[in-house]
Amino acid sequence: MIQQEQSNPFLIVQQQLKEAVDKMNLPNDVYEILKHPKRVLTVSVPVKMDDGTLKTFIGYRSQHTDVIGPTKGGIRFHPDVTVDEVKALSMWMTFKCGVAALPYGGGKGGVICNPKDLTNGELERLSRGFAQAIAPIIGPDKDIPAPDVYTNGQIMAWMMDEYNKTQGGINNPGVITGKPIILGGSLGRDTATAQGCIYTIREAANKVGIQLSKATAVIQGFGNAGSHAARLLANLGVKIVAVSDSRGAILNQAGLDVDTLITYKESNKSVVGFPGSQEIPASEILTLACDVLVPAALENQITASNAADVQAKLVAEAANGPTTPEADKILAQKGIIVIPDILANAGGVVVSYYEWVQNLTGYYWSAEEVKEKLEAQMVKAFDQTWAVREKYGDVDLRTAAYMVSLERITEALRLRGWI
């Protein structure tokens, strides 16, 4: 009987964690304490809809571990949100913060909804309602949310405003990151996930001898991470041959003009139909011939059923959890280098950390300062991960990244006396 591939992200992250703990010969107590989030809150948020009816939305906030510092991570608004997904995403945040050496543990929130079906007013009431519902467990020194899939700076602004009201009208921007600049956001935060991802691609390309100015790339997902990644790669001379979004995929072997495509998507709500491109089945995007593949959408995209057909030399996970453990093994056998999510997309939370630091100190940095610091921090995280991979010889970059992270987390667990 063919066994069904594991697609529950919570069980996947547990499996990834166990593999790294065993590889490092850490005491099982480390796995035992990290295999579940410390706290998961379920909330129901009643929202008055524009037609006068009341609709209740379900949301979650998961806080994985606060052993190194307050928990940190985004809030996603998506119809497919589940509690296990939010738990997994909060755990990935812990290991992401660990690789990047940030003084945080992981957190994540999610609301089951389709923001594309909501009016602006409904979205604002939902955002405020969710912020109010999780207010008792968040705060600048407890848990600091940020944007994630289908949330943005405006939603962060509403949530900050609402949280501050619940605290008696204080004005503390440090409760949430990814805010608009005027409300205490950081320069460079909007492009940080993609920028950080590009730094890791550049470093990996150097290691494996890919010349980016002659390379081709395919991007799955054209939201915040995907669209900026496409633009930044194109700036390095990479030819972007195909991109996709939730409505479809497009191809142009001669290379897509990314700036024009971004403008096209803004007015047409999708990349599909972009002049000069050809529409292809969305399922084909991941298996197109290219040098660099950037999954920048959702979990479970590269699986046991399509991994053998992946033709890229380098996969950079701008999304969280796009590759299943079985697919990881197949890609490794094929000699494809995967820069794992917890490293490849850490740039977002790195600049969120800078935003929080700027909020706490009240002193704001220039765009150049942010970029310089981000580059140094990403290159360091990449180098440390690569070094662990070389040292062990038989681990992939994902396990190596977990190991870099676990070294820090284990030290903190020991020093606090939790294990």
Catalytic residue among 72, 87, 108, 179: 108
Give strand ranges (E) for 171-270. 216-220, 239-245, 248-251
Asked if 320 touches ligand GLU (CB under 6 A), the answer is yes
Instruction: Give the single-character DSSP code of 125.
Output: H
295 is an interface residue for ligand GLU by CB under 6 A = no
Phi first, then psi, for residue 190 (nearest 5°) are -65, -30
Rule CB under 6 A: choose which of 94, 191, 352, 405 binds ligand GLU: 352
Shorter beta-carbon distance to ligand GLU: residue 291 or 317: 317
Q: What backbone torsions phi and psi does residue 80 show, to the nearest 5 degrees?
A: -95, 10
Q: Smallest distance, Å, CB 403 to ligand GLU?
A: 20
- The amino acid sitting at 149 is V
Q: Return the residue of 61, 64, 72, 313 that touches ligand GLU, per CB under 6 A.
A: 72
49 vs 28: CA distance, rounded Å: 49
Q: Rounded to the nearest whole angstrom, what is the least distance from the CB of residue 112 to ligand GLU in the complex?
A: 17
97 is an interface residue for ligand GLU by CB under 6 A: no
SS3 content of the chain, % helix, strand, coil (to 5): 50, 15, 35
The separation between CA 60 and the C-alpha centre of its own chain, rounded to angstroms, equals 17
> Containing H/E element for 411?
helix 397-416
Stretch that binds ligand GLU, among 66-74, 130-138, 202-210, 307-315 (CB under 6 A): 66-74
Closest CA to 176 of 134, 143, 129: 143
Does 384 interact with ligand GLU (rule: CB under 6 A)?
Answer: no
Tokens of 165: 């009201």
Q: How far is the C-alpha of 234 from the C-alpha of 220, rounded, in Å?
A: 15
244 binds ligand GLU (CB under 6 A): no
> What one-letter code names the amino acid at 296?
A
Q: Is 299 in the site for ligand GLU (CB under 6 A)?
A: no
- Interface with ligand GLU (CB under 6 A), residue from 131, 258, 293, 349: 349
Helix (H) or strand (E) holding 295: strand 292-295
CA 121 to chain centre: 27
CA distance 235 to 197: 14
Span from 70-78, 134-142, 285-293, 299-307 in contact with ligand GLU (CB under 6 A): 70-78
Minimum CB distance to ligand GLU, residue 168 (Å): 25
Tell me which residues in 114-173 interact with ligand GLU (CB under 6 A). Answer: 146, 148
Number of residues this chain uses to bind ligand GLU (CB under 6 A): 12
Task: Tell me which stretch binds ligand GLU (CB under 6 A): 215-223, 274-282, 348-356, 357-365.
Answer: 348-356
In 3D, which of 299, 305, 315, 297 has the Cα closest to residue 398?
A: 315
Query: Which residue type sits at 154?
Result: Q
Stretch near ligand GLU under the rule CB under 6 A, chosen from 47-55, 227-235, 322-330, 346-354 = 346-354
Active site residue 108: yes
How does DSSP classify residue 141? Answer: T
Contacting ligand GLU within 164-223 (CB under 6 A):
177
The residue from 348, 370, 398, 413 that contacts ligand GLU (CB under 6 A) is 348
Please report, as ranges, the residues that interact with ligand GLU according to CB under 6 A: 72-74, 96, 146, 148, 177, 320, 345, 348-349, 352
* Catalytic center residues: 108
